[in-house]
């Protein structure tokens, strides 16, 4: 017997809030020693979403994310989803040239990032790439640190 389920329209933030209400202390993500619970995901993504809004992100803003696999990447994705931004995950293994091409072609306006990964200074790499893009895009860089993530590059 086939069961037809009625389609539901639920947003990622609403689904996350629903799960956090019933399973707040349960793990949403386990990545080696990095464990993110549903409750933590709600509070951390909400705080990051507020910071993104404070620096000018809004619905449709292309937000790049330069994090290694783990909770910070998931939190950044959830924060972008909360405000209706377009999430553009980038690999921490991208070369400088690849990163320049990705930033330009993906129309990225903001790039929260990890400070470093495996000895590579991601903020410095990001800033160097953004300086090279200045003639092509309105993207600029700054070294402002946020309490929710390591680096910040924004328009």
Give me the domain span that covers residue 92: 25-133
Query: 69: how many CB neighbours lie within 10 A of its CB?
Result: 14
Tokens 């539901």 found at = 8
The CATH code of the domain that includes 46 is: 3.40.50.980
**111 in Cβ contact with 126 (< 8 Å):** yes
Residue pLDDT tens, the chain, 155 long:
455 666 667 888 999 999 999 999 999 999 888 899 999 999 999 998 998 888 888 999 998 888 888 998 999 999 999 999 999 999 888 887 888 888 888 888 888 887 777 877 776 666 655 544 433 333 333 334 444 444 544 44
The encoded tokens of residue 101 equal 């091409």
Q: How many domains does the chain have?
A: 1
Q: Is residue 92, in this structure, part of any structural domain at all?
A: yes
pLDDT at 109: 84
The encoded tokens of residue 17 equal 């809030």
Q: Is residue 102, in this structure, part of any structural domain at all?
A: yes
Q: Is residue 73, in this structure, part of any structural domain at all?
A: yes
pLDDT at 146: 42
Q: Is residue 8, in this structure, part of any structural domain at all?
A: no
Secondary structure (DSSP) of 5-44: PPP----HHHHHHHHHHHHTTSEEEEETTEEEEHHHHHHH
Q: Is residue 154, in this structure, part of any structural domain at all?
A: no
pLDDT at 24: 92
């Amino acid at each position: 017997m086939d069961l037809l389920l009625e389609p539901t329209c639920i947003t990622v933030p609403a689904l996350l809030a629903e799960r956090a209400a019933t399973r707040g202390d349960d793990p949403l993500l386990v990545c080696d020693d990095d464990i993110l619970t549903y409750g933590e995901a709600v509070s951390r993504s909400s705080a990051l979403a507020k910071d993104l809004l404070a620096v000018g992100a809004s619905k449709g803003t292309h937000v790049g994310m330069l994090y290694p696999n783990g909770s910070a990447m998931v939190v950044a994705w959830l924060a972008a989803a909360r405000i209706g931004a377009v999430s553009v995950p980038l690999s921490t293994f991208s070369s400088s040239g690849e990163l320049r091409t990705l930033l330009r072609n993906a129309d990225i306006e903001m790039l929260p990032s990890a400070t470093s990964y495996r000895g590579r200074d991601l903020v410095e790499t990001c800033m160097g790439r953004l300086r090279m893009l200045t003639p092509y895009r309105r993207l600029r860089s700054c070294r402002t640190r946020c309490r929710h993530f390591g680096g910040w590059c924004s328009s």
